[in-house]
Chain A
Amino acid sequence: MSQSLPQEIKAAGQGFAGGVNLRDAVNQIPPNQARKMENGVLDERGGWSKRLGSLSLGTFGASGDRIISAYVFFRVDLNPHVMIHTNAGKVYYSPDATANPMVWTQIATGLSTTKQMSWETFNGKCYFTNATDGYQSWDGTTYATYPSAPKAAYLRLWKDTMWATGVDAVPDRAYSSAAADAETWPVSNWVDISKGDGDRITAFGTDGTYLIVFKRRRTMSIYDPSTFANRVVDPEKGCESHFSVISFEGIVYFVSRRGICKYYGDSPSEIISGALDPFFDPRVINFAALNTIWAYTVGNRVGWCFPEFGQALPSVQVEYYPRLGVLSSYGIRAIGPFSFQRLPSSTIIRWRWQQQELTLGGSSNSNKFYQLYAPVGTDDGVSYTSLLETAGFDLGAATNTKYLRRAYLVGRGAFTMQTKLDFGSAIDKTFPVDMSSGVDVWSTGHNWGVGTWGPDSLYKSRQVDIDSYAQFFSFIFRDDGKTITGNKAIEVGSKEFTVPEGEWAIYGLYLECAMLGRRF
């Protein structure tokens, strides 16, 4: 009697552009999503690259000082000032973020050590406030205070007017300055938003057309700056942190109790972080410190620094890739992917002047100021690991056992690949994968046939002989905290630009298996 051979299967992975998924059951995670993603970027769609590191730009204040709020004060045709507020109750500015070390000059002292400054730029001045210290300004040379202005926690510029809110004694009240004058506050230019509802205004935002007024449990908008006409936009989602509100490519994002939201204005906001639902749990993040959530943008992504359980300041970053959402045939872009970073910073800002554009931030555990995503391979001398753990692949027949013969990888750099079988926690096998550029170039000292010569591609493929049996296979790609960087090629027609990138990247995973029978 003849016996058929096991069916051979060749399967191509779908990449990792779906981002991290904490929500779905382990066997339900789509193949282009991942169970774990940390310290990497999805900039090359479908691929995962280790992120760049953090470069110290020197210290500020005393060793125990930490930055609790930061801002870039852009000035016409002048080097932007970096402004910081520290937990020592001091505000400093630095005139040049390209200097190393940066030089910090104290503007004010004796300020709150916990309440973050909210900042805006108007009429050539930087205005800042918190609910303890009140309204202040800095024009590049002169510091001023305004004792009669509302002692507000938050500022937002809207319709050529400064808006202030968060005065402790009147938690529902939104104030407006005189038009085009952020230093004059007409005495009756205010309105109470949902007065006495047991909540307080926690944030201001704007989509350019309306002033968005967030409470913790609801969202309203003011649509007429003269009459203060306002309406409820979302009756059941509010905002946890004024500093979590950010605009990116025409869309306002913010963080609510239940997740990261996309503001629509004409309908309730949409929670876009459904794949991260378990993250928004008081046993995971510090609900008592959600007012410290800090938003930033870098490249094509939007990020938020979150305080984890037990942390008073943000300790982990969630990054969102709006442009990687799938575009429908109607031109509507779906929700994009998320991933995690562990940058050593709790307040992140974007600085740009002339040829330089930098991502900057204050250290979460020292009085240092960092250039983040800098072309270095460590976080200020400390190695960090990039990690990606894929979904469990069943290769189209979940109930059958498969023999995984080998995998073909496309990537660059050197990393470690590990396998896990059938959702177990144990590592099945570990394989070092080296796709780093060859350094053994041909020289006059070599005999014929020794070494390599000619250009060496950044991108390579490698075969890994896996030799394992299971119904579901998961793969982990990680490094052991190496301290070097890699490169990425950007081909502009016939000219190639090489830009620094994290040390390694995985772009594709192709599997060769044999389908076996069912195990009873």
Chain B
Amino acid sequence: MMPNDIPVTREMVYDWLVEYTADEPDQTLREFLEDKLEELHLKDATVSTVQHEDRPDETPLVDMILDDIPSYEPKPPTGN
């Protein structure tokens, strides 16, 4: 999918991270996000990253989200 076509917003991820921080689930952040994406039927979604110089043509959506976690504040826990 093109980046613009991904039906997940930073606002949704922000809320997930707040939930993850509060609930302290017994799973990694990656597993937690994959569960959230699965609810949206997007667990296996990929994003076109053909114009990203350090990525293959397609990148799993969860990897894109995890890569951008440092930009969310208050800082969520890290580790995937």
- Give A residues with C-beta under 8 Å from B: 134, 147-151, 167, 169-170, 173, 175-176, 178-179, 184-192, 194-195, 224, 226-230
Contact = CB atoms under 8 A, between A and B. Distances in A.
B36 to A, nearest CB: 11
Contacts of B72: 148
Contacts of A185: 9-11
Contact of A186 (B6, B50, B54): B6
22 contacts: A147-B73, A148-B11, A148-B14, A148-B72, A149-B10, A150-B71, A169-B71, A170-B70, A170-B71, A173-B68, A176-B3, A186-B4, A186-B8, A186-B9, A187-B8, A187-B10, A187-B61, A187-B64, A188-B64, A189-B6, A190-B3, A195-B53
Contacts, number: 85
Contacts of B52: 191-192, 228
B34 to A, nearest CB: 14
Contacts of B27: none
Contacts of A189: 3-4, 6
Interface of B: 2-4, 6, 8-15, 47-48, 50-54, 61, 64-65, 68, 70-73
The 6 residue pairs across chains A and B that have the minimum distance between CB atoms = A148-B14, A169-B70, A185-B10, A188-B64, A148-B11, A187-B8
A188 B51 contact: no
Given A148-B72, A151-B73, A187 B65 contact: yes
A72 B13 CA distance: 33
Nearest to A170: B71
A228 B3 contact: yes
Nearest to B12: A187
Given A170-B70, A188-B64, A227 B9 contact: no
Nearest to B50: A227
Contacts of B15: 148
A322 to B, nearest CB: 34
Contacts of B14: 147-148
A226 B3 CA distance: 7
B26 to A, nearest CB: 25
Interface of chain A, helix or strand or loop or mixed?
loop
Given A170-B71, A186-B3, A189-B3, 13 more contacts: A148-B72, A169-B70, A170-B70, A184-B9, A186-B6, A186-B8, A186-B9, A187-B64, A188-B3, A189-B4, A191-B52, A228-B3, A229-B51
B54 A192 contact: yes
A173 B72 CA distance: 13
B8 to A, nearest CB: 4
A192 B67 CA distance: 11
Nearest to A148: B14
B79 to A, nearest CB: 16
A251 B64 CA distance: 36
Contacts of B53: 192, 194-195
Nearest to B1: A188
Contacts of B2: 226-227
Contacts of B70: 169-170
Contacts of B10: 148-150, 185-187
A188 B71 contact: no
A192 B59 CA distance: 14
B7 to A, nearest CB: 8
A197 to B, nearest CB: 11
Which of A187, A195, A229 has the most B CB atoms < 10 Å from its CB? A187
A195 B68 CA distance: 13
A167 to B, nearest CB: 5
Contacts of B13: 148, 187
